[in-house]
Chains A and B, each alone.
Chain A
Amino acid sequence: MLRYSLRRLIIGVGMLVALSMLIFMLLRLTPGDPIDAYIDPNLPMSPSDLADLRRNLGLDQPLPVQYLAWLQQALTGNLGYSIKRLDQPVLGLVLSRIGPTVLLMGTALAFAIVIGIACGVIGAVRRNSLADLSLSVVALAGISSPAFLSALIGLYIFSVRLHWMPSGGMLTPGEEFSVGDLLHHLILPASLLSVAQGALIMRYMRASLLEVLNQDYVRTARAKGVLEFWVIAKHALRNALLPIVTLIGSTIGLAIGGAIFIESVFNWPGMGLLLVDAVQTRDYPVIMGATLVIGTCVIVVNLLTDITYAVVDPRIKVG
């Protein structure tokens, strides 16, 4: 078990280094550098100003030198300074964004799990009923609508039209912090983010429960005269949930993709917004830092899922 985990851990670290190299190379293959992003073509700047800036930022060095310098610093925990905002160290910037993203994704995940499992159970138990049919249609729409679309529709209905929800941000500007205010800002983006994941969980839950309901032991339980409620709640549900746990782990990546859209639409100050902003302004140090942190999260989640799986099912270790 320990050897298995260690091996997975070493592979994870190797993947991170490879990821950093890949991102660095890909970024530099695109034409232009951060200095080019500094220039508004409508308001030209003098070339000697730009040359000075480029030199100050070390962008005049050859690429391998720049990468090694970055790696050397990164190993000591220093991810450099943002180019767009020189007064912000990348590490601090990235760390300050993890909280909001985890909060948003955690809430969305909780919504997705609760709604997905509840609807999946209804669908399976009331198979082919009107409720099942309508939930299936809703789930299909949920799975197939991209995050940015549902975000814009949600924003329009609940914020612009109904004025129920703020149109963006995490807290009301200028007001003291309060949990209510935070929740008020959190609910709309979190529910919209949970749509696709919730729909997916629902579909899997329904299929998984239907399968379990046909098993012999369920029939046995029913034959013994156990109340139908307990048949489902105690016998069927527990077994049907197992594949769902795996599914949730593997959809974290999906949620991160959705979070990037949701965060930019709702101005949620998380990793996604930071990354989008950094890409637009070619802020290399921030792109590298944010990607590495997101990459680390995905690798860690996968590692944990694998280890949990290995604990649950000892046969995994063989593979």
Chain B
Amino acid sequence: MKRLSRLSTIALGVLLSTAAVPALVVSGAAAQAATLSGGFDVGPGGFQGNFNPLAATAGFTWLSIYYEPLITYDQKLQKVVGALASSYEVSPDQMNYTFKLADAKWHDGKPFTGKDAKFTIGLAMDAKTGSVLAARLKGISSVETPDDHTVVIKLSAPSSSFLDTMTKVMMLPEHALASIPADQLAKSTWWSATPIGTGPFKFTKYVSDQYVELAANADYRGGKPALERIINRHFANPAAAIAALRSGEIQFTYVDSNDVPTFKDNKDFKVIEGNSFVVNYLGFNHDSPIWKDVRVRQAVMYAINRDAIIQSLYGGAAKPANCAYVAEQLIPQGIDTYAYDPEKAKKLLKDAGWDQINGGKPITLLTYYTTPLATNVLAAVQAMLAQVGINIVPRAVDAPTYNSIVLNATPDIAQFQMVYAGLQNGPDAGSINVGLNEKQIPPAGPNVARVRMPDLTKALDSALAEPDSAKRDAAYQDVCKVMNTNLPWATLWVANRYGIVSTKAKDFVWTPAPGGGPYQAAPQKWSIAE
């Protein structure tokens, strides 16, 4: 039997040696000097794997490091400022936009001119290129280039959202793309292999599903960048990005609000907090007879203890919303705050005859939010509404399923008598129009709650057509008032959004902008301590 132990020893030896290999190959995971790595496409502002700005619905945080639009938002998303255009002018009737172009060069050294701008706008207006901006740019009647450094865009009708749309049109080089037919452009490998822009960093390498690497553009007109390289790591989910952040492999990523507390007191990281600009609401399906009476809708508002939910589930990281907007200048004085009052809710329901309208019958509430936070929020809302006699049953589905149900031209009301959803309300306040205007009921647009309120549609239309910006704020206040009174939605809150950055990164700018921006992030100034 002695010999047996020899065999066991060999077997054990094999085992141990396999287990010991990890210790042998450990190497420094620390980032190299002058390289900043991040999960720039993690979370709702990212669009991982997309390299084509014409097809981008998000991901501008990253795209705007190597491409640039003519104009962009400032860091606080309040003003539209010049980017590739050194200045711009809008005619008083909001029909003519004149852009004076900066002296810029493409990454291959060729100059950027008005012809490139005209070419890019042409691509963005052409649906055949796969452009997601085509419909929004339909109002352009002509693009002229009186000289190499001037571009004049004329519209067929005034549009207060035009500048907002233009911030998303990233300029593309005519000399590199003109030879590709429009309908083949989206399939070109140029985007992920050899793209060139005008930004502070140049595209150098893409390793499929792993990372994108950019190198400093020494000839950048805004000065030579401080970093040598920026790397965008691709992650399958936010948890993987957080693991990489904590192990020191990356220096920045987006995080869900539930992950914030673990970073808050850690001196190695800085928490960046900002407005998500997404208002969360319970949308009443106005095609369903149960919500016809405004008293029922008011009862829903009174029955939900929003402050309690914000404190206990969001950890205070949200603001209650009493209409679709959060920006102070858009909210008028004296609107109803619908403070928690279950007794009042019960009385309103009784007056409206809720027993006759629906009673305790289950009401399907459809949502595309599948996070643990959303599940908890809906459980709380369900319990609070049950206390006043409204029996909702949440049903969470993935976003494609949600879209296919609610955007259907002839939907089954029983599938979604109510939705829990969100809609972006900034930086262009006009963006909320599509969710509330009667003219935007599917299939024409995404007014999924089928809101048919003439007062509201009128208020939205006049705000959109108002050329003067000061008067426009007043017009949006009117929209807010109508919403607050008529309650097309039970508006809940606007949550904060978070990024975490290593304290080693200096002058790093990240703003939780809708779709990732773009905004003035000044990547040429970013640097990192060794």
- Tell me what chain A mostly uses at the interface: helix, strand, loop, or mixed: helix
Contact of B399 among A39, A114, A273, A277 (CB under 8 A): A39
Is B470 engaged at the interface, CB distance under 8 Å to the other chain?
Answer: no
Q: Cβ of A276 and Cβ of B236 under 8 Å apart?
A: yes
Is A164 engaged at the interface, CB distance under 8 Å to the other chain?
Answer: yes
Q: Cβ of B247 and Cβ of A174 under 8 Å apart?
A: no
Q: Cβ of B11 and Cβ of A122 under 8 Å apart?
A: yes
Known: A173-B210, A187-B25. Is A168-B246 also a contact (CB below 8 A)?
A: no
How many angstroms from the CA of A9 to the CA of B362 in the assembled complex? 54
Known: A85-B49, A87-B189, A174-B213. Is A49-B246 also a contact (CB below 8 A)?
A: no
A312 to chain B, nearest CB (A): 26
Contacts of A172 in B (CB 8 A): 29
Q: Cβ of A44 and Cβ of B14 under 8 Å apart?
A: no
How many angstroms from the CA of A181 to the CA of B27 in the assembled complex? 8
A-B contacts, CB under 8 A, total: 242
Contact residues, A125-169 vs B (CB, 8 A):
125-126, 131, 155-156, 158-160, 163-169
Contact of B130 among A42, A86, A125, A229 (CB under 8 A): A86
Contacts of A22 in B (CB 8 A): none
How many angstroms from the CA of A273 to the CA of B208 in the assembled complex? 11
Contacts of A187 in B (CB 8 A): 21-22, 25
How many angstroms from the CA of A86 to the CA of B186 in the assembled complex? 6
How many angstroms from the CA of A38 to the CA of B443 in the assembled complex? 16
Contacts of B29 in A (CB 8 A): 163, 166, 172
Contacts of B248 in A (CB 8 A): 163
Q: Cβ of B22 and Cβ of A158 under 8 Å apart?
A: yes
Contact of A45 among B7, B25, B132, B235 (CB under 8 A): B132
Q: Cβ of A165 and Cβ of B22 under 8 Å apart?
A: yes
Contacts of A251 in B (CB 8 A): none
Contacts of B207 in A (CB 8 A): 171, 173, 269
Q: Which of B102-110, B267-275, B330-338, B417-425 lies at the interface? A: B417-425
Contact of B25 among A37, A40, A167, A184 (CB under 8 A): A184
Q: Cβ of B211 and Cβ of A44 under 8 Å apart?
A: no
Most buried by B among A184, A188, A276: A184
How many angstroms from the CA of A232 to the CA of B136 in the assembled complex? 77
Contact mask B214-238 → A, CB, 8 Å, 1/0?
Answer: 0000000000000001010111110
Contacts of A302 in B (CB 8 A): none
Q: Cβ of A277 and Cβ of B236 under 8 Å apart?
A: yes
B42 to chain A, nearest CB (A): 12
Q: Cβ of B189 and Cβ of A164 under 8 Å apart?
A: no
Give the interface residue-count category, chain A. 35 or more
Contact of A31 among B18, B127, B401, B445 (CB under 8 A): B401
Known: A84-B49, A171-B210. Is A42-B422 also a contact (CB below 8 A)?
A: yes
Is B278 engaged at the interface, CB distance under 8 Å to the other chain?
Answer: yes
Is A118 engaged at the interface, CB distance under 8 Å to the other chain?
Answer: yes
B419 to chain A, nearest CB (A): 9
Contacts of A45 in B (CB 8 A): 57, 132, 446
Contacts of A173 in B (CB 8 A): 37, 207, 210-211, 213, 231, 233
Contact residues, B167-189 vs A (CB, 8 A):
183, 186-189
How many angstroms from the CA of A229 to the CA of B243 in the assembled complex? 47
How many angstroms from the CA of A181 to the CA of B249 in the assembled complex? 14
Q: Cβ of B399 and Cβ of A163 under 8 Å apart?
A: no
Known: A86-B52, A181-B27. Is A36-B135 also a contact (CB below 8 A)?
A: no
Is A233 engaged at the interface, CB distance under 8 Å to the other chain?
Answer: yes
Is B50 engaged at the interface, CB distance under 8 Å to the other chain?
Answer: yes
Is B44 engaged at the interface, CB distance under 8 Å to the other chain?
Answer: yes
B234 to chain A, nearest CB (A): 7
- Could you tell me how many residues of chain B have their Cβ less than 8 Å away from some Cβ of chain A? 93
Is A76 engaged at the interface, CB distance under 8 Å to the other chain?
Answer: no
Q: Which of B147-155, B385-393, B402-410 lies at the interface? A: B402-410
Contacts of B414 in A (CB 8 A): none
Is B435 engaged at the interface, CB distance under 8 Å to the other chain?
Answer: yes
Q: Cβ of B278 and Cβ of A42 under 8 Å apart?
A: yes
B189 to chain A, nearest CB (A): 5
A160 to chain B, nearest CB (A): 5
Contact mask B3-44 → A, CB, 8 Å, 1/0?
Answer: 110111011101100100111011101001001010000001
How many angstroms from the CA of A150 to the CA of B43 in the assembled complex? 25
Contacts of B247 in A (CB 8 A): 159-160, 163, 166-167
Contacts of B482 in A (CB 8 A): none
Contacts of B407 in A (CB 8 A): 36, 39, 47
Is A282 engaged at the interface, CB distance under 8 Å to the other chain?
Answer: yes
Q: Cβ of B422 and Cβ of A273 under 8 Å apart?
A: no
Q: Cβ of B18 and Cβ of A265 under 8 Å apart?
A: no
Is B442 engaged at the interface, CB distance under 8 Å to the other chain?
Answer: yes
B3 to chain A, nearest CB (A): 4
A60 to chain B, nearest CB (A): 13
Q: Cβ of A118 and Cβ of B11 under 8 Å apart?
A: yes
How many angstroms from the CA of A86 to the CA of B52 in the assembled complex? 9
How many angstroms from the CA of A39 to the CA of B7 in the assembled complex? 62
Is B512 engaged at the interface, CB distance under 8 Å to the other chain?
Answer: no
Known: A87-B192, A159-B247. Is A52-B127 also a contact (CB below 8 A)?
A: yes
Q: Cβ of A232 and Cβ of B4 under 8 Å apart?
A: yes
Contact mask B43-59 → A, CB, 8 Å, 1/0?
Answer: 01000011110010110
Q: Cβ of B57 and Cβ of A40 under 8 Å apart?
A: yes
How many angstroms from the CA of A227 to the CA of B234 in the assembled complex? 57
Known: A37-B400, A118-B11, A169-B210. Is A174-B35 also a contact (CB below 8 A)?
A: yes
Q: Cβ of B240 and Cβ of A40 under 8 Å apart?
A: no
Is A30 engaged at the interface, CB distance under 8 Å to the other chain?
Answer: yes
Is A204 engaged at the interface, CB distance under 8 Å to the other chain?
Answer: no
Known: A165-B22, A227-B3, A276-B236. Is A44-B434 also a contact (CB below 8 A)?
A: yes
How many angstroms from the CA of A166 to the CA of B445 in the assembled complex? 45
Chain B residue nearest to A266 in the complex (CB): B240
Contacts of A274 in B (CB 8 A): 209
> Ordered nearest first, which 10 A-B pairs have the shortest CB separation?
A32-B404, A52-B127, A32-B400, A118-B11, A44-B446, A46-B135, A36-B403, A229-B3, A36-B400, A173-B211
Interface residues of chain A, those whose CB is within 8 Å of chain B, are 30-34, 36-49, 52-53, 56, 81, 84-88, 93, 96, 111, 114-115, 118-119, 121-122, 125-126, 131, 155-156, 158-160, 163-174, 180-181, 183-184, 187-188, 191, 227-229, 232-233, 264-267, 269, 273-274, 276-277, 280, 282
Besides A43-B424, A229-B6, 12 more A-B contacts (Cβ < 8 Å) are: A32-B400, A41-B423, A85-B192, A87-B52, A87-B187, A121-B7, A155-B243, A167-B249, A184-B26, A188-B22, A229-B4, A264-B236
